[in-house]
Amino acid sequence: MVFEKLKSSIEAIISVSEEKPPRTFEQMCLDKLKEIGISTAAEWSTAMGYMHRSSLAKVIRRILAKTPEKLKVYYNRKPRQYEALY
């Protein structure tokens, strides 16, 4: 009986250690952008469930500051368009 409890607790520890680390909000936003493709900040915000077009402005700045290789910005178009690159 004690052995079975020990075995089940070891299995629980193994299953917890195999879980993926929690995703950040920036990663969730990049996943949504990857899903919808090249889009403007307004389209991206709407896809994330926000009502205002500039809701992701700080998130976009954080992504560009921390991991610029994951986001491509098309500056030559008005409005700017974004593409996830990972």
Q: pTM for this one?
A: 0.74
Range of the domain at 51: 23-84
Residue 12 lies in a domain: no
E-assigned strand segments in the chain: 39-40, 71-74, 81-84
Residue 17 lies in a domain: no
Of the candidates 28, 20, 24, the residue with the CA atom closest to the CA atom of residue 84: 28
Residue 36 lies in a domain: yes
Q: 36: domain CATH number? A: 1.10.10
Looking at residue 2, what is its pLDDT?
A: 61
Total count of domains within the chain:
1
**18-72 tens-digit pLDDT:** 667 788 999 999 999 999 999 999 999 999 999 999 999 999 999 999 999 999 9
Query: Is the pLDDT confidence value at 17 over 60?
Result: no
For range 76-83, the mean pLDDT: 94
